[in-house]
């Protein structure tokens, strides 16, 4: 298993600088907001986006060092990620996030949206830098603003497809690009930009980021069907929300059009507590090797992500990125 703590120790002062900047960026004189911000920061998960940002910047830098902009963009990527989670918790009516009650559950949906907006604005402030607003910062703002549009479009497309239960594999790839891979792309493309990497290097980092992001989300969707329930997450949550993901979509590709339509109707009929129909659909996925086919999809994305790193000379940072990519494909939570 990838030891993220050791990586953070290796990144040393660069990692500490990102943590300090996130804390300072969120400061305000409203006590309740300060308390909420501190609580979110104290349970902020793996922080994969800023961690990889630092590794990417070091790997792409001619001197092997990050810049002041690297630290800002890396911190902003984590603030932006958490802003989207605060909004997602409202959209999905989620009560638990990372094993703890969500802001939505504790304070209501309005508070969750407002805190998310605050984190989003502070993320944009970090990206644009100080008063100078350099050409690099302007380009970074464009990169991240595209991602914000992608995130909104992905959520709305997923909502539309959940209502109609007509999701195709092409729809699914677009949804997971918009909802997951686009933020990976913005985080790590901006990291390469921050050390003045040339266009070819940036293109390879984009390829790495997008394909790793797609693999990351496919793995999440596999775990929704065969994950370890001991971590406290029930199986089939996406299915109950009429979200058709890789394991089911791959299984549908293996049967007749009539059978596929029958299963889609069953998904559309699912309601809370309707476990017998859910179990029937999950049995259908198992019988038609949905998870195995989805795993092969994941492996193709992973192969493309790792291929994108081939042009870079060997370094600790490159090997760490390879290991992180493999961890993404094999994780159990």
What are the structural domain ranges in the chain?
4-330
Q: In whole angstroms, how far apart are CA 299 and each of 23, 256, 277, 304?
A: 37, 26, 30, 9
Note the pLDDT tens digit of each residue in 201-228.
999 999 999 999 999 999 999 999 886 5
CATH 1.10.600.10 fits 4-330, yes or no: yes
Report the pLDDT value the prediction gives residue 2, as an integer from 0 to 100.
64
d(C-alpha 226, C-alpha 238), whole Å: 12
Note the pLDDT tens digit of each residue in 162-178.
999 999 999 999 999 99
Report the pLDDT value the prediction gives residue 231, as an integer from 0 to 100.
44
- State mean pLDDT over 34-55: 93
Percentage of the chain modeled with pLDDT above 90: 84
Report the pLDDT value the prediction gives residue 227, as an integer from 0 to 100.
64
Q: Which of 120-129, 256-265, 266-275 has the lowest mean pLDDT?
A: 266-275
Report the pLDDT value the prediction gives residue 176, as an integer from 0 to 100.
98
d(C-alpha 209, C-alpha 156), whole Å: 23
- State mean pLDDT over 304-308: 98
Mean pLDDT of the chain: 94
- Looking at the predicted structure, is the pLDDT value of residue 305 above 50? yes
Interaxial angle between packed helices 199-226 and 316-330, expressed in degrees from 0 to 180 and rounded to the nearest 10: 30
Q: In whole angstroms, how far apart are CA 199 and each of 50, 183, 196?
A: 21, 19, 9
- State mean pLDDT over 253-267: 97
Report the pLDDT value the prediction gives residue 232, as an integer from 0 to 100.
45
DSSP labels, 64-133: S---HHHHHHHHHHHHHHHHHHHHHHHHTT--EETTEE-HHHHH-HHHHHHHHHHHHHHHHHHHH-SSS-
- Looking at the predicted structure, is the pLDDT value of residue 233 above 70? no
- State mean pLDDT over 57-66: 96
Note the pLDDT tens digit of each residue in 73-104.
999 999 999 999 999 999 888 898 877 899 99
Categorize the per-residue pLDDT at 230 as very low, low, confident or very high, splitting at 50, 70 and 90.
very low
Helical H segments across the chain, by residue range: 4-25, 31-42, 48-60, 68-91, 103-107, 109-128, 135-164, 169-176, 182-194, 199-226, 237-240, 246-252, 257-269, 275-287, 290-307, 316-330
């Amino acid at each position: 298993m990838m030891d993220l703590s050791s990586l953070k120790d290796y990144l040393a002062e660069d990692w500490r600088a990102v943590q300090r900047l996130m804390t300072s960026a969120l400061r305000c004189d409203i006590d309740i907001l300060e308390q909420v911000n501190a609580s979110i920061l104290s349970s902020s998960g793996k922080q994969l986006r800023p961690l990889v940002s630092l590794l990417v910047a070091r790997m792409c830098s001619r001197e092997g060092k990050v810049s002041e902009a690297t630290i800002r963009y890396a911190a902003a990527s984590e603030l932006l990620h958490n802003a989207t989670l605060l909004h997602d918790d409202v959209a999905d009516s989620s009560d638990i996030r990372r094993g703890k009650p969500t802001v939505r559950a504790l304070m209501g949906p309005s508070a969750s949206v407002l805190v998310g907006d605050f984190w989003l604005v502070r993320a944009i402030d970090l990206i644009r830098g100080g008063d100078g607003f350099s050409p690099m910062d302007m380009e970074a703002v464009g990169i991240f603003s595209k991602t914000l549009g992608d995130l909104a479009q992905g959520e709305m497309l997923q909502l539309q497809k959940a209502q109609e239960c007509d999701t195709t594999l092409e729809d699914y790839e677009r949804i997971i690009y918009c909802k997951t891979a686009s933020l990976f792309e913005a985080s790590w493309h901006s990291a390469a930009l921050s050390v003045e990497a040339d266009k070819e290097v940036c293109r390879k980092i984009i390829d790495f980021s997008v394909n790793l992001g797609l693999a990351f989300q496919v793995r999440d969707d596999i775990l929704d069907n065969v994950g370890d329930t001991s971590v406290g997450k029930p199986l089939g949550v996406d299915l109950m929300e009429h979200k058709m993901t890789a394991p089911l979509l791959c299984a549908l590709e293996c049967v007749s059009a009539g059978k596929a339509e029958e299963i889609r109707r069953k998904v559309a009929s699912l309601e809370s507590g309707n476990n017998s129909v859910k179990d029937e659909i999950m049995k259908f996925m198992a019988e038609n090797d949905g998870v195995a086919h989805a795993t092969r999809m994941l492996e193709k994305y992973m192969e493309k992500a790792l291929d994108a790193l081939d042009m870079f000379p060997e370094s600790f940072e490159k090997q760490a990125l390879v290991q992180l990519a493999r961890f993404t494909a094999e994780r159990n939570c």
